[in-house]
Structure 1
Amino acid sequence: MGRKLRFATLALMAVAAGVYLNNTSLLAPHREGKPVLLAHRGMAQRFDERDLKNDTCTATRMLPPTHDYLENTLRSMRASFEAGADVVELDVHPTTDGEFAVFHDWTVDCRTDGQGVTREQSMAKLRMLDIGYGYTADGSKTFPFRGKGIGMMPTLSEVLATFPDKQLLINVKSRDPGEGEKLAAVLNALPAARRGMIMVYGGDEPIDMIRRLTLGVRTISRAAIQSCLIRYMGYGWTGLVPTACRNAMLLVPINVAPWLWGWPDRFLNRMANVNSAVFVLGPYSGGKFSSGIDTPEAFARLPQGYSGGIWTNEIEAIAKIAGKSKD
């Protein structure tokens, strides 16, 4: 019995050693270079993020502005790239006249001087709206951007034409598979090299459609990211990468990352080998994904020498910390 116990112990030690060697980041090649910075909504006005709900009008909760950029505009995107962003995130909605409007909200009531569901309007009508109309930082006493955002809502086609060589992340706001089919048609009309610089995330149904209809575009949805991370934590120690993690854009909360086999370098290498890009968010809490890596304290939680992706709402501040500011 003693001999069997010793044999079993040695076998377990050998397995443990194999798992360690297969997953330790100490033995993995380290990708040199600076982090890849993703500017969420471009250069945008920040707002009080406490107790947010799906229908919260964040424009009325704006913090005192430190700049005059409005999210999801060409001007905002250009400023983000100039500040050091490698990728800019933008939101889209299909319009009744066949375009994709670049705008965050499901309705135009909060930020603009218009009313109604965004996708139920024509681009011609949306173009007439003042997208800075609803922003206030003092309880509606003043509206510093009112009258300054008329005609500034762009189309996706304009974004693609304005930034032909830049990386973009497109957010599909609906769960309509038909929207995924329409967006897939737009993406498939682009050269293969250009498609490779675009990522798409959003509702499960449209993202599934895009994933099936397009080649070279990395995607992710809530169901896919949960499937990817849960399965990877379950058997990623083998070196196998779940299907949901392949050809994907992965969002990893910073408090979940240490639980991923091989974090950081071996994990990043495994994902790169299956054409997936990894971006770290702020902590996952209360069943919700966080906003981003937006402060020096959050940035300090990243591994030393981290060269993967970072999702941020504060591109100017984080670009300076990461050594990517162009100032």
Structure 2
Amino acid sequence: MRRIWRPMLLAVLLLAAFAYLNNGGLTAPRLAGPPTLLAHRGIAQRFDMAGLTNDTCTAARMLPPRHAYLENTIASMRASFEAGADVVELDIHPTTDGRFAVFHDWTLDCRTDGRGITREHSMAELQRLDIGHGYTADGGRSFPFRGQGIGLMPALDEVLEVFPDRRFLINIKSDDAAEGERLAAWLGQLPPAARDRLMVYGGDRPIATLRAALRDLRTVSRGSLRACLLRYAAYGWTSLVPTACAKMLVLVPVNIAPWLWGWPGHFLQRMQSVGSHVFVIGPYHGGAFSTGIDTPEDLARLPAGYPGGILTNEIEVIAAALGLSRAVGGERR
């Protein structure tokens, strides 16, 4: 019996030693540079997050305004980049006249003075609406942005024209494969360098269609992220990166990150080697909504000198906490 167990024990010990050395800090690559900041929704009005559902009208539960910016507008995006964002997230809907409207909600009733499903309108109709119409912080007694958002809903092509050299994360709001086909056709007309500055996330069906049509585009969906991380958990200790992780936006909850093989240096380098970008998000507790890295306390949960991506709802707070700002011309200082 001892003759059988000794080789097995030795093999286990050797594998454990290999896994430790292959993923431990002693062999971790030294990655330099500041973190990449992704501003979720850009600079936007914040709202009470308690008890949110997919149908919650967040404009009706706005917190007292601290600034005049509305999400998904050119002004908000510009302010986000000026505050220190490297990437700004925006939401899109196809329109009846063949364009993509940049707007968060599935319907118009909550934020605007319009009615109905957003994608059942033309871009011309949408740009006549007041996107600040429904915002209130006091239960409807006052509407501080009413009348100030007329004509401020941009189209995706307008955003890329205004910011030709900036990076964006595009959110497809549906799980419709046809929408993936439509966006793939539109993005396929862009030069490869312009497409390389874009990432897309959304439902499993449109993202699968996009990945099949545009293999150079970084994408993620709930299903593709699960496939990537589960496979990496199974054999990432070997340094092999699952093909499911290639050309992805890899979103990692801050409470899950320390359990990933080789976190942070090895993990970041391995994902970079397959063309993927890693962004840490807020802690995951099994619910439908995930937060960002939004406070200095959240930042403190990251390793010292962390050089990867950070998704935040509070770009001004996080950029300031990291000592990052923008100089004239868009360079960090």
TM-score category of the 2 structures, normalised to the smaller one: over 0.9
**Residue ranges of structure 2 left out of the alignment (5+ in a row):** 328-333
Structure 1 residue 321: deviation in Å?
Answer: 1.1
The residue matched to 1:53 in structure 2 has which SS? coil
* Alignment check: 8 A CA contact 1:38 1:312 kept: yes
CA offset digits 1:93-124 (Å, max 9, x no partner): 00001110000000010000111000011111
CA offset digits 1:222-269 (Å, max 9, x no partner): 110111111111221122212221100011101111111111010000
Structure 1 residue 28: deviation in Å?
Answer: 1.6
Structure 1 residue 25: deviation in Å?
Answer: 3.5
Structure 1 residue 5: deviation in Å?
Answer: 3.7
State how 1:21-100 maps to structure 2 within 5 Å: 21-100=21-100
Equivalent residue, structure 2, for 1:228:
228
What is the rounded CA distance, in whole Å, between the counterparts of 2:162 and 2:28 in structure 1? Answer: 39
* Alignment check: 8 A CA contact 1:220 1:250 kept: yes
What is the rounded CA distance, in whole Å, between the counterparts of 1:116 and 1:49 in structure 2? Answer: 25
State how 1:35-184 maps to structure 2 within 5 Å: 35-184=35-184
What is the rounded CA distance, in whole Å, between the counterparts of 1:206 and 1:65 in structure 2? Answer: 35
What is the rounded CA distance, in whole Å, between the counterparts of 1:10 and 1:235 in structure 2? Answer: 20
What is the rounded CA distance, in whole Å, between the counterparts of 1:94 and 1:101 in structure 2? Answer: 6
Q: Which amino acid aligns with 2:195?
A: R
What is the rounded CA distance, in whole Å, between the counterparts of 2:309 and 2:135 in structure 1? Answer: 30
The residue matched to 1:280 in structure 2 has which SS? strand
**Residue ranges of structure 1 left out of the alignment (5+ in a row):** none
What is the rounded CA distance, in whole Å, between the counterparts of 2:234 and 2:105 in structure 1? Answer: 36
State how 1:12-23 maps to structure 2 within 5 Å: 12-23=12-23
Equivalent residue, structure 1, for 2:275:
275
Structure 1 residue 181: deviation in Å?
Answer: 1.0
Give the count of matched residue pairs: 327
Equivalent residue, structure 1, for 2:195:
195
Which of 214-223 and 63-72 deviates more?
214-223
Equivalent residue, structure 1, for 2:331:
none
TM-score with structure 2 setting the length:
0.96
Q: Which amino acid aligns with 1:276?
A: S
The residue matched to 1:30 in structure 2 has which SS? coil
Q: Which amino acid aligns with 2:19?
A: V
TM-score with structure 1 setting the length:
0.97
CA offset digits 1:133-189 (Å, max 9, x no partner): 111111111110000000000000001101110111000001111111111111111
* Alignment check: 8 A CA contact 1:19 1:237 kept: yes
Structure 1 residue 71: deviation in Å?
Answer: 0.2
